[in-house]
C-alpha cells in the first residue's frame, strides 16, 4: 500500500475506495482528487491491464438523428474530452495520441445516400455547441484520394463525419496514471484483488487478507463488475451484464497520422500517430480463451486490406484481445447499489467507454457526494435492473 493511504488500528481506512484501474477507475480517481476526497485506487493486476489497455481508441459519436438526452450527453462528453486531454498533457508532459481526425463511411448501396443526406441535416441541427459545429457530409468521392477507402465500397458515395476522433488507449491511461502519481489525495495500489464487499460494515476484503474500511466504494472492475455487484446482496442476484471478447491488431504503415478513421459494417480502421494503424474489432459473446487471437482477427485484417488497400504490405506490430463489459441493456451502468448505499457501480461502457468515461466518473462522484447524477435514465443502474426484471 502506498503511504498516501492511512492505517488505523491495523485496518486501512479511506474516504473513497475505487476498485479497478481501467479507464473508468482512473477517471474516477482523478475526479475524486479534484473534489478533495482521500482515495485509494486498487487493481488486481497492473493499471490498465484489462480492456482499457487495448489498441483501437476510436471515439465515435452516436448517429446525429433521433436526438435524445443520451446522444446529447455523449456529444458533450466527446467535445469536453478534448480540453480534458489538453489539461492532462500540460500537467504530465505526455501525449495521449488524441486527434479529431474525423471518419469516412463508405456507402455500399445507392439508397444509403438518401439516408445520408437526411442525416446531414440532423447533424447541422444537433452536432453543435458554442463555436463547435460538426458535419455529416455526403460526398461523391473520398477527400483523401484513391484507396482511402477503396472505390468498390463507395457505390453510393461516402459520408465524411467531422466529429469522430481517436486517442491512444495506452497513451491516455498511462497519462492518467502519471497524473495520479502527482495527486495529493490518491493512493494507487496494483496487484491486489478484491475478494468480497461487506456492505453492512462498509469493508472491502482483499484476497491477501487486507481489509479496507471505506466511506464509499466505486466498483469499476470492467466485466468483473457484474459478478462483484451481484455478490453484494439479493437485489442484483443475477449479474447485470457479461463480458464480450474483442480482437484487434496494430499495423505499421506509411500513412499520414491525420487520415480520417474508416468505418464499415463494424470494421474500424484507426490511423494513429507514428504510422501506426489499429484495426478492430470482433464482438464475441462466446469464447474459450479471453486473450488469444485467431482466424476471426485474420478475417478482420483481410477485410481491412480490401477496404484500405494501402494496408496490404503493412507490418503487423501486435495482435491483441480483451474482454469488454457489456451491461444488460448495452449502455453504461452507473449508480448506487440497491443493497448498499455506499457502493456505486461504474461500468458497462462496452464500445464507447473512452469517450464517456470522464463524464460517467463525474456522475459516480456526484453519487459519492450524495448529489443527483446528471445522466440519462438508460445509463443508470436502476434502468438496467428494470430491464433485467422485464
Ligand atoms: C478489441 C476491443 C476494442 C475496443 N475498442 C474501443 C474503442 O475503439 N473505443 C472505445 O471507446 N472503447 C473500445 N473498447 C471498449 C473499452 O476498451 C472498454 O469498454 C473499456 O476499456 C472498459 O473500461 P473499464 O475501466 O470499465 O474496464 P477495464 O479496462 O477492464 O478495467 C477493469 C480493471 O479492474 C481490474 N479488476 C478486475 N477484477 C478485479 C478485482 N477483483 N479486484 C481488483 N481489480 C480488479 C482489472 O485488473 C482491470 O484493470 C474496445 C474493447 C475491446 C476489447
Whole-number Å distance between alpha carbons of 373 and 366 = 6
Whole-number Å distance between alpha carbons of 42 and 62 = 32
Is the minimum distance from the CB of 218 to ligand 1 under 6 angstroms?
A: no
Is the minimum distance from the CB of 360 to ligand 1 under 6 angstroms?
A: no
pTM over 0.75: yes
Q: What is the CATH class of 98-166+242-325?
A: alpha beta
Higher-pLDDT residue of 214 and 10 is 214
Mean pLDDT of the chain: 95
Q: What angle do CA 221, 268, 163 make, to 5 degrees?
A: 90
Percent of the chain beyond pLDDT 70?
97
- pLDDT for the residue numbered 39: 98
pLDDT tier, 158 (very low <50, low <70, confident <90, very high otherwise): very high
Chain segment 278-299, per-residue pLDDT in tens: 999 999 999 999 999 999 999 9
Q: Which atom of ligand 1 is closest in space to residue 282's alpha carbon?
A: 1
Q: Which of 24, 25, 50, 343 has most ligand 1 atoms within 8 Å of its beta carbon, as the pocket-test mutant?
A: 50
Residue 307 clears pLDDT 60, i.e. is over it? yes
Chain segment 322-357, per-residue pLDDT in tens: 999 999 989 999 999 999 999 999 999 999 999 999
Residue 223 and residue 242 in contact, taking contact as beta carbons nearer than 8 Å: yes
Chain segment 28-43, per-residue pLDDT in tens: 999 999 999 999 999 9
- pLDDT for the residue numbered 4: 60
Residue 237 clears pLDDT 90, i.e. is over it? no
- Whole-number Å distance, alpha carbon 151 to ligand 1 midpoint, is 35
Is the minimum distance from the CB of 328 to ligand 1 under 6 angstroms?
A: no
Q: From 3.50.50.60, 3.30.1360.20, 3.10.560.10, 1.10.760.10, which CATH number describes the 3-53+171-240+329-389 domain?
A: 3.50.50.60
- pLDDT for the residue numbered 11: 79
Q: Which of 57, 324, 343 has most ligand 1 atoms within 8 Å of its beta carbon, as the pocket-test mutant?
A: 324
User: Hey, what's the cell of 249?
Assistant: 491488431
- Whole-number Å distance, alpha carbon 138 to ligand 1 midpoint, is 34
Q: Who contacts 154 (Cβ-Cβ below 8 Å, separation ≥6)?
A: 106, 107, 108, 141, 142
Strand partners, 59: 165
Percent of the chain beyond pLDDT 90?
93
- Whole-number Å distance, alpha carbon 351 to ligand 1 midpoint, is 10
pLDDT tier, 10 (very low <50, low <70, confident <90, very high otherwise): low
Nearest CA to ligand 1 atom 48: 50
Whole-number Å distance between alpha carbons of 223 and 290 = 12
Mean of the pLDDT values across residues 266-282?
97
Residue 215 clears pLDDT 90, i.e. is over it? yes
Residue 142 clears pLDDT 60, i.e. is over it? yes
Residue 8 clears pLDDT 70, i.e. is over it? no
Whole-number Å distance between alpha carbons of 227 and 205 = 15
Is the minimum distance from the CB of 77 to ligand 1 under 6 angstroms?
A: no
Give the start-to-end residue ranges of the domains of the chain: 3-53+171-240+329-389, 98-166+242-325
Is the minimum distance from the CB of 269 to ligand 1 under 6 angstroms?
A: no
Residue 263 clears pLDDT 90, i.e. is over it? yes
- pLDDT for the residue numbered 305: 98
Residue 120 and residue 135 in contact, taking contact as beta carbons nearer than 8 Å: yes
- pLDDT for the residue numbered 145: 84
Work out the burial of residue 110: count CB atoms within 10 Å of its CB; fewer than 13 is exposed, 13-18 middle, 19 or more buried: exposed
Amino acid at each position: 500500500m502506498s503511504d498516501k493511504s492511512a492505517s488505523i488500528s491495523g485496518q486501512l481506512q479511506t474516504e473513497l475506495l475505487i476498485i479497478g484501474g481501467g479507464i473508468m477507475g482512473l477517471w474516477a480517481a482523478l475526479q475524486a482528487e479534484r473534489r478533495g476526497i482521500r482515495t485509494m485506487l486498487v487493481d488486481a493486476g497492473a493499471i490498465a491491464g484489462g480492456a482499457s489497455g487495448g489498441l483501437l481508441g476510436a471515439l465515435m459519436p452516436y448517429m446525429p438523428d433521433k436526438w435524445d438526452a443520451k446522444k446529447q450527453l455523449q456529444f458533450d462528453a466527446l467535445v469536453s474530452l478534448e480540453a480534458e486531454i489538453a489539461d492532462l498533457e500540460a500537467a504530465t508532459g505526455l501525449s495521449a495520441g488524441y486527434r479529431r481526425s474525423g471518419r469516412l463511411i463508405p456507402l455500399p448501396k445507392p439508397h444509403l445516400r438518401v439516408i445520408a443526406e437526411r442525416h446531414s441535416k440532423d447533424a447541422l441541427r444537433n452536432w453543435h455547441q458554442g463555436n463547435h459545429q460538426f458535419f455529416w457530409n455526403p460526398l461523391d468521392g473520398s477527400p483523401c484520394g484513391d484507396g482511402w477507402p477503396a472505390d468498390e465500397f463507395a457505390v453510393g458515395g461516402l459520408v465524411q463525419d467531422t466529429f469522430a476522433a481517436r486517442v491512444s488507449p495506452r497513451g491516455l491511461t498511462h497519462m492518467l496514471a502519471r497524473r495520479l502519481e502527482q495527486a495529493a489525495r490518491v493512493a494507487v495500489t496494483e496487484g491486489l484483488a478484491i475478494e468480497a464487499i461487506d456492505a453492512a460494515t462498509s469493508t472491502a476484503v482483499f484476497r491477501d487478507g487486507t481489509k479496507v474500511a471505506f466511506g464509499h466504494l466505486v466498483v469499476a472492475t470492467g466485466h468483473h463488475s457484474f459478478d462483484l455487484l451481484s455478490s453484494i446482496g439479493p437485489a442484483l442476484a443475477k449479474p447485470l451484464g457479461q463480458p464480450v471478447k474483442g480482437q484487434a491488431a496494430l499495423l505499421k504503415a506509411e500513412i499520414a497520422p491525420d487520415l480520417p478513421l474508416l468505418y464499415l459494417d463494424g470494421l474500424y480502421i484507426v490511423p494513429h500517430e507514428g504510422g501506426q494503424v489499429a484495426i478492430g474489432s470482433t464482438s464475441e459473446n462466446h469464447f474459450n480463451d479471453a486473450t488469444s487471437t485467431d482466424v476471426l482477427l485474420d478475417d478482420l485484417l483481410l477485410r481491412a486490406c480490401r477496404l484500405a488497400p494501402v494496408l496490404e504490405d503493412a507490418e503487423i506490430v501486435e495482435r491483441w484481445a480483451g474482454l469488454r463489459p457489456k451491461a444488460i441493456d448495452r449502455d453504461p451502468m452507473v449508480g448506487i447499489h440497491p443493497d448498499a448505499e455506499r457502493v456505486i457501480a461504474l461500468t458497462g461502457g462496452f464500445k464507447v467507454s473512452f469517450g464517456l468515461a470522464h463524464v460517467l466518473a463525474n456522475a459516480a462522484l456526484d453519487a459519492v457526494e450524495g448529489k443527483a447524477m446528471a445522466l440519462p435514465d438508460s445509463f443508470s443502474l436502476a434502468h438496467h435492473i428494470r430491464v433485467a426484471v422485464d
